[in-house]
Each structure stands twice: as structure tokens, then as C-alpha cells.
């Protein structure tokens, strides 16, 4: 998830695909920018794949499980770290957001992903956290991309399930940096790796308290924890992109923008609570400010819930 380097203003398949290689195109890296690679375009669409809504299918798989399993790897100090968001209360908020009941899983917001698919069916519109793991600075406080992969692999080897239907989030406390561009080029990213024949999908999301001006949408927040409240929007961004483009070869546009990149830092209709900022989603008893996602219907557009009015193009 790339943060544009501007001051943020809160803006209020069934079928077979024949793949043709035709020159080069921009493809996603999972970090919000694209690189050039051989062009792969499907020559035949199906009942599940709908091109022409401002985003294109490139032949790769989407995630189908209902729910897609979510695993948290809490990296660093999440008990009494240097920022207010490095607390067990923050862990509890994020657990609630991804909880199997009264969380984002199966919500109208997440069902936007069901407008995408591959040769075997629609993408999943459901997520649920199933397990977590703690790692106290096992790779230090300045991570490289390779360290993030190692953290995921170690967590699996030390207890988390090896799950092709899972997304492993590496969530860092506020004193941890990521050298490939955290706070400068992105606030989070996703990727995948092969682990003994299993395609493992994972994401890095740094604590926005590390750089509030770059990764927090607002200083006041619905739940009184600006780091956690900002973190869940970034996590929603990476989760939606992982479900619809897990191997970086499924859904993105001609510029290499994935489903959430196309709506980064755009928020649907919102309400405000005195002293608690803005929110546009309510799950259970909690309010959240969550960015919109690109809906692959009706010509395409950024939407806050499946079937709602588009609020941005």
C-alpha cells in the first residue's frame, strides 16, 4: 500500500483461458508500484471473469476459501513498546476487526472481492483470524523484505499451520523499520513464497505510529488508538489485494494497480464522533475508517460496500 507523497486530506469462472504473450506491460509488486514484465492477457473471458471495468484479469488464481484464514505474527514489543499503539489493547482491537463474528469477515465491504474470479469461481468474500504467533525482535528492529519472509517461515515452522488458504500478516511494533520503503513508499505490502510445495501468502504491515504523518489518515480515531485504527485500514487493503491477486498475476490494471491501489486513501461516506474523528464502517460495537475498494461491476469504481453507490472513480 503506497502512500502518495502529499499531505493526506480525508476525502469526505468457469471456463478455460487461452493466454497470449504480447510485448510488455506493467505488473504489480505488491507494494503499490509496478514493474515491466512480459504481457500476459486472457483472450477469452468466462462467467466469473469480467474485464472492462477499469481492471483486467491476467490468468492467475484468486483465493476461494470461505473463510480465507488469517494469521497474525506480532513482531517486536506488543506489551509495553514505545508508542501508545504498542499495547495489548491494540492487539485486541485488531483481533476484533478480523474476528470470525461481528468483524470484517463476510461483511458487505469484503464482499466487493466476490466481483473477481478465476477459472474455478469467484474470489472469497470472507476472512477470519484463526491463530497468532509472537516474535520478539528475532530479526532485529530494521527488517529487509527477506527478513519478513523469514519471520513468516519461522512462525510456520514453530507452530502456525502451513496453509495455502491463509494470509500471514507480519505486524510490527512502532520501533521496527522496514528498509525497502516503509513510511516513504508504502505502509504495507503483500507477496507470496513457496514453502515445501505450499504457496504461502503473506503481508507486511508496519505500525503507523512509526510515521503517523505518512500512514495515519487522521490523528483522532474512532477507537482512541490512531495506530490500530490506521493499521486495520492498511490490513484491509492488503487482505483484499491478496485475495484477488495472491501471486501477483491475477487482477490489476494497465498501470499495475491492484484492487485496493486504485482506491488508496479514498474513504466512502463517513460520520464523525466528537473527539473520535471519522468512521465509515461499524462491525459489532466498534467503528472504523476503512478505505474503499475497486468494485469490478457497473463500469468499475471505488465502493465502500458491494452494490452501494460508487463514490469515486
φ and ψ of 227, to 5 deg: -65, -50
Query: How far apart are the C-alpha atoms of 303 and 194, rounded to whole Å?
Result: 33
- DSSP, residue by residue, 77-128: -SSB-SSTTSBHHHHHHHHHHT-SSSSSTT-TTGGGGGG-EETTEEPP--EE
- Of these ranges, 93-102, 241-250, 282-291, the one predicted with the greatest mean pLDDT is 241-250
Q: How do residues 180-193 score in pLDDT, each as one tens digit?
A: 999 999 999 999 99
Query: How far apart are the C-alpha atoms of 73 and 99, rounded to whole Å?
Result: 15
Model pLDDT, residue 44: 42
Cα–Cα distances in angstroms (integers) from residue 178 to residues 65, 113, 144, in the given order = 30, 28, 6
Q: How much is the pTM? A: 0.88
Model pLDDT, residue 46: 55
Model pLDDT, residue 16: 26
- pLDDT category at 102 given cuts 50, 70, 90 is confident
Instruction: Give burial (CB, 10 Å; 0-12/13-18/19+) of 26.
Output: middle
Centroid of chain to Cα 219: 21
Q: Angle, to 10 degrees, between the axis of helix 226-244 and the axis of helix 88-97?
A: 40
The answer on pLDDT for 100 being more than 80 is no
Q: How do residues 40-92 score in pLDDT, each as one tens digit?
A: 554 344 567 888 899 999 999 999 988 999 999 999 999 999 999 999 999 99
Query: Taking the CB of residue 152, how many other CB atoms lie within 10 A of it?
Result: 26
Domain boundaries, the chain: 19-303
Amino acid at each position: 500500500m503506497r502512500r502518495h507523497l502529499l499531505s493526506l486530506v480525508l476525502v469526505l469462472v468457469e471456463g478455460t483461458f487461452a493466454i497470449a504473450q504480447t510485448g510488455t506491460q506493467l505488473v504489480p509488486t505488491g507494494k503499490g508500484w509496478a514493474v515491466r514484465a512480459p504481457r500476459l492477457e486472457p483472450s477469452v473471458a468466462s462467467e466469473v471473469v469480467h474485464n472492462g471495468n477499469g481492471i483486467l484479469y491476467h490468468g492467475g488464481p484468486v483465493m476461494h476459501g470461505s473463510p480465507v484464514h488469517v494469521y497474525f505474527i506480532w513482531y517486536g514489543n506488543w506489551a509495553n513498546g514505545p508508542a501508545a499503539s504498542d499495547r495489548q489493547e491494540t492487539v485486541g482491537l485488531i483481533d476484533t476487526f478480523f474476528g470470525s463474528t461481528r468483524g470484517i469477515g463476510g461483511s458487505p465491504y469484503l464482499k466487493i472481492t466476490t466481483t473477481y474470479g478465476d477459472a474455478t469461481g469467484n474470489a472469497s468474500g470472507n476472512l477470519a483470524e484463526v491463530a497468532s504467533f509472537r516474535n520478539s525482535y528475532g530479526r532485529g528492529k530494521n527488517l529487509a523484505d527477506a527478513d519478513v519472509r523469514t519471520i513468516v517461515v519461522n512462525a510456520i515452522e514453530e507452530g502456525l499451520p502451513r496453509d495455502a488458504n491463509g494470509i500471514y500478516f507480519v505486524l510490527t511494533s512502532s520501533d521496527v523499520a522496514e528498509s525497502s520503503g516503509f513510511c516513504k513508499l508504502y505502509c504495507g505490502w503483500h507477496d507470496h513464497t513457496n514453502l515445501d510445495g505450499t504457496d504461502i501468502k503473506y503481508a507486511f504491515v508496519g505500525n503507523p505510529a512509526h510515521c503517523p504523518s505518512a500512514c495515519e489518515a487522521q490523528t483522532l480515531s474512532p477507537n482512541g488508538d490512531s495506530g490500530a485504527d490506521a493499521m486495520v485500514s492498511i490490513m484491509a487493503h492488503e487482505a483484499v489485494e491478496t485475495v484477488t491477486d495472491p501471486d501477483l498475476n491475477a487482477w490489476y490494471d494497465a498501470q499495475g494497480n491492484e484492487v485496493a491501489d486504485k482506491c488508496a486513501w479514498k474513504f466512502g461516506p463517513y460520520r464523525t464522533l466528537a473527539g473520535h474523528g471519522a468512521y465509515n464502517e461499524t462491525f459489532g460495537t466498534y467503528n472504523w475508517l476503512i478505505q474503499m475498494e475497486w468494485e469490478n461491476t457497473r463500469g468499475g469504481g471505488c465502493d465502500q460496500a458491494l452494490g452501494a453507490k460508487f463514490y469515486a472513480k
